[in-house]
Amino acid sequence: MTPATNGTTSTEPTVGSTQAAKHPVAVAFEKNSHWRRNLADLQPELFKKLGRGQSPEILWIGCADSRCPETTILGLQPGDIFCHRNIANILVPTDLNSLSVIQFAVEYLKVKHIIVCGHTSCGGIAAALGNKKLGLIDTWLMPLRHLRAQNAKMLDALPEKERGLKMVDLNVRRSVAVLMENPIVMDAMVERNLELHGVIYDVGTGELNELDIAEDEEIVEERKKAFKTEH
């Protein structure tokens, strides 16, 4: 608002205020229009190809955090990644949502890689390391609280920042372990060399770091005995 000549306050917008007040969804649609035109100019056949179907090589399992957009992080484009995201990139063997995504990606899309991505400054991790009652989300975070309890002595000995990073690491490893116990994933790993990856994304630098998830053959064989199923 600007002062009027009679000393009162005018409600007429100042120069530039219309742009500043533009609805965020309207801005998003404008940017979509600009993006698709530019991409169509650079790759004229891309949208036609995408309209015929998809054949991604990567299934990305990550956090719903707005700072972790998988296609942008990897420098890829539409059609390159099939993804599943939830709060704190949690995988449990009884979640029908993630199980459906995994089955479709592995059995039907025939992805070659599954990436589980955790990230720094994760709100879900911070919540699980705290003791504030949050409501419904407390149920979702229960697997993280179990991880916290199982590693309490080690975690309690760490400074706050390192404690959070260690929980991110433990959570990614646990989710990879859940994948390794999934019969559909196990079959694909044997039959066509499906590869699993655990990574951590640093939201403060944009850097992606891969964890060493290699296992002894004895552990692999014990898992097969316990979890592998056959028709």
Question: What is the bridge-based pairing of β-strands 58-63 and 81-86?
Answer: parallel
Instruction: Respond yes or no: is residue 68 known to be catalytic.
Output: no
Signed CA dihedral, 36, 73, 61, 63: sign only: negative
Q: Coil, strand, or helix at residue 117?
A: strand
Active site residue: 67, 145, 197, 223, which one? Answer: 67
Instruction: Respond yes or no: is residue 83 known to be catalytic.
Output: no
Residues 6 or more apart from 184 whose CB is under 8 A from it?
102, 103, 106, 107
Active site residue: 68, 84, 117, 119, which one? Answer: 119
Tokens of 12: 């007429």
Active site residue: 68, 84, 117, 122, which one? Answer: 122
What backbone phi and psi angles, to 5 degrees, belong to 206?
85, 5
Instruction: Respond yes or no: is residue 122 known to be catalytic.
Output: yes
What backbone phi and psi angles, to 5 degrees, belong to 61?
-115, 110
Active site residue: 63, 117, 148, 174, which one? Answer: 63
CA distance to 113, 155, 162, 169, 173, per residue, from 159 (Å) = 34, 8, 5, 15, 21
CA distance to 47, 105, 166, 210, per residue, from 86 (Å) = 27, 17, 20, 20
Instruction: Respond yes or no: is residue 119 known to be catalytic.
Output: yes
Residues recognised as catalytic: 63, 65, 67, 119, 122
